[in-house]
Amino acid sequence: MSNTDPTLGEVQARFANDRFATEACGCTVVEAREGHAICELTVGPSHLNAMGAVMGGAIFTLADFALAVASNLHEHHASVNSTIDFMSRVRGKRLVATCDAQKRGRTLSFYTVDVSDELGTPVARMSATCCRVG
């Protein structure tokens, strides 16, 4: 790809192929540029655990999807390591994941993904290390 960021529609079409995130979980891309992405998920019954709270795996999937979008617009990266801290129970009906590159190197890049609900409740923070592949 060129150094020009693709349009939002182009990004959405490209990442629609991430079927687990988009079809099974309902994640959508709402903003994307090199090293940055915002993705959302509307909470539904399939996202809840037995206690009625949003399952950690659903939150992680949204964070990982935002990471994939932010890190793969111009180059191809694979996650080497990611950790997530769950900070609060989801209070709203929509989750928002904001991913930003902290440092982009020739081989390794480092990202932070903050997940909150539409009420502003901080839900989780993911730290990820990615390796350039290809």
Q: Residue 74 sits in a domain of what CATH number?
A: 3.10.129.10
pLDDT at position 134, please?
72
- The β-bridge partners of 82 are 128
Residue 50 lies in a domain: yes
Long-range contacts of the stretch 23-26 (C-beta < 8 A, 24+): 25/58, 25/61, 25/62, 25/65
**Confidence (pTM):** 0.94
Contact present, 66 and 37 (Cβ < 8 Å): yes
Distance, in Å, from the CA atom of 28 to the CA atom of 24, rounded to the nearest integer, reads: 12
Q: Which of 42, 17, 45 is nearest to 30 (CA)?
A: 42
Contact present, 133 and 76 (Cβ < 8 Å): yes
Residue 28 lies in a domain: yes
Residue 93 lies in a domain: yes
| Residues of the chain under the 50 pLDDT cut | 1-2
Residue 22 lies in a domain: yes
Q: How many domains is the chain built from?
A: 1
pLDDT at position 3, please?
66
Give the pLDDT confidence of 26-62 residue by residue, as tens digits.
Answer: 999 999 999 999 999 999 999 999 999 999 999 999 9
Residue 25 lies in a domain: yes
Q: Which residues constitute the domain of residue 68? A: 8-132
Residue 1 lies in a domain: no
Kind and range of the H or E run holding 69: helix 56-71
Q: β-strand 36-42 against 94-104: which pairing, if any? A: antiparallel
Residue 3 lies in a domain: no
Torsion sign over Cα 17, 20, 25, 29: negative
Token couple for 82: 């990611």
Residue 89 lies in a domain: yes
CB atoms within 10 A of CB 13: 12
Measured in whole angstroms, the distance separating CA 91 from the mean position of its chain's CA atoms is: 19
